[in-house]
């Protein structure tokens, strides 16, 4: 955002002090409508150069206008004319994600961040990134969200196209994602480590004398227990389940879990000696439906562990042994990091969120 040039100058022959002249001139520019709500005012350094006065004078003038409620200072953005008919917000944060990422984790992250940032005095909005017919990203919703100045954009997951777009706009952004790396143009990053509870699961397997684990997944393994289990001396076999997403991803994953376990049951391939780790909660919901219909019981007939989202499930008549991700806690940690950045200009380093191991009855 580029600041408008100022419509006045100072007069060394005026009996009023320079400070009063600058304050009066800027106030009149705002009250007359030369500057409208959302406009950026020149910085104290720019005012100093334009008006030929000291920076002490221009800084004091901007502070006086802020005291009067005419402007608000936003870190990394500048001094903005505020709408006096609206609540005085300290700034704006935008949460960006791709259309396919619109899931339970995104929903809980977004709602938690909105609550905490709103309490902290910041406007919070969200923008999804779609695709054009040629496969390129459609940034129209993000453009709309950034039509007013933003103090920070939080990007969900590793999205290089979005990083490049924000970098070109010179918009500060941070990342919430699975890759434990901070992009060179980002102000910070929060690592979502899906494997955070794997070692605890491996220790539990070792304590129970588990020799074999069958890892059931679809698409790609966000949570891969194999490395931790192999270190603990447990053999791992991977079983990838095909998913038809034509009726929607979540419906397709549940159905795929049910069909996969119906086939295992029909072919009498359910192993009583192995523990089944199902690396997706929707896949587990389908698997439990197939097991229940067939009359097989967990853990009497099959031992089962799942990845789960706190508050979402999956649900079973006995407490599931699981790696549970608390999305609300992840949102709290993210909001706290954002508020720290907006306060100090420094994004906290080394923040990692992920699932915890929860002992249940199904191993």
| Domains of the chain and CATH, by start | 18-81 (1.10.10.10), 91-192+329-354 (3.40.50.2300), 198-324 (3.40.50.2300)
Mean predicted confidence (pLDDT) in 182-187: 94
Q: Which residues contact 6 (CB under 8 A, 6 or more apart)?
A: 25, 26, 29, 42, 47, 50, 51
Confidence band of 85 (pLDDT split at 50, 70, 90): low
DSSP readout, 132-148? -TTS-EE-HHHHHHTSS
Confidence band of 1 (pLDDT split at 50, 70, 90): low
Can you tell me whether residue 69 is helix, strand or coil? coil
Higher local confidence (pLDDT), 149 or 195: 195
Can you tell me whether residue 287 is helix, strand or coil? helix
What does the pLDDT look like over 5-53, one tens digit per residue?
788 888 888 877 888 889 889 999 998 889 998 889 999 999 999 999 9
**Cβ atoms 152, 172 nearer than 8 A:** yes
For the record, the structure tokens of 107 come out as: 């929903």
Q: Give the integer Cα–Cα distance in Å for 33 and 4.
A: 12
pLDDT for 350 equals 92
In this structure, the chain runs to a length of: 363
Confidence band of 88 (pLDDT split at 50, 70, 90): low
pLDDT for 104 equals 87
Q: Give the integer Cα–Cα distance in Å for 55 and 58.
A: 5
Provide the 10 A C-beta neighbour count for residue 23: 22
Q: Phi and psi for 3 in degrees, rounded to 5?
A: -75, 145
- Exposure string for 156-185, b = 16+ CB within 10 A, e = fewer: bbebeebbebbeeeebbbbbbbbeeebbee
Q: What is the pTM of this model?
A: 0.72
């Amino acid at each position: 955002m580029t600041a408008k040039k100022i419509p006045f100058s100072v007069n060394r022959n005026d009996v009023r002090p320079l400070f009063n002249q600058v304050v009066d001139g800027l106030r009149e520019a705002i009250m007359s409508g030369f500057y409208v709500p959302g406009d950026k005012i020149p910085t104290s350094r720019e005012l100093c150069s334009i008006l030929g006065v000291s920076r002490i004078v221009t800084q004091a003038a901007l502070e006086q206008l802020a005291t009067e409620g005419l402007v608000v200072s936003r870190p990394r953005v500048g001094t903005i004319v505020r709408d006096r008919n609206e609540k005085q917000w300290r700034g704006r944060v935008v949460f960006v994600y791709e259309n396919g990422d619109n899931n339970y984790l995104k929903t809980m992250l977004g709602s938690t961040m909105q609550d905490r940032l709103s309490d902290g005095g910041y406007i919070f909005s969200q923008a999804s990134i779609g695709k054009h017919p040629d496969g390129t990203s459609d940034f129209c919703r993000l453009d709309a969200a950034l039509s007013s100045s933003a103090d920070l954009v939080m990007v969900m997951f590793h999205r290089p196209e979005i990083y490049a777009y924000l970098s070109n706009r010179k918009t500060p952004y941070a990342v919430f994602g699975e890759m434990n790396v901070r992009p060179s143009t980002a102000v910070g990053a929060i690592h979502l480590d899906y494997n955070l509870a794997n070692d605890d699961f491996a220790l539990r397997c070792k304590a129970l004398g588990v020799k074999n684990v069958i890892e059931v997944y679809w698409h790609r393994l966000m949570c891969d227990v194999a490395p931790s289990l192999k270190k603990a001396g447990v053999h791992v076999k991977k079983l990838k389940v095909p998913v038809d997403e034509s009726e929607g991803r979540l419906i397709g994953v549940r159905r795929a879990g049910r069909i996969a376990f119906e086939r295992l049951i029909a072919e009498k391939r359910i192993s009583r000696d192995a523990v089944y780790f199902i690396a997706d909660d929707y896949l587990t919901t389908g698997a439990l439906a197939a097991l229940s219909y067939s009359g097989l019981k967990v853990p009497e007939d099959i031992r089962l562990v799942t990845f789960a989202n706190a508050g979402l499930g999956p649900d079973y008549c006995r407490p599931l042994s699981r790696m549970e991700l608390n999305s609300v806690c992840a949102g709290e940690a993210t909001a706290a990091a954002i508020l720290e950045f907006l306060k100090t200009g420094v994004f906290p380093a080394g923040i990692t969120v992920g699932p915890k191991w929860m002992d249940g009855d199904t191993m």
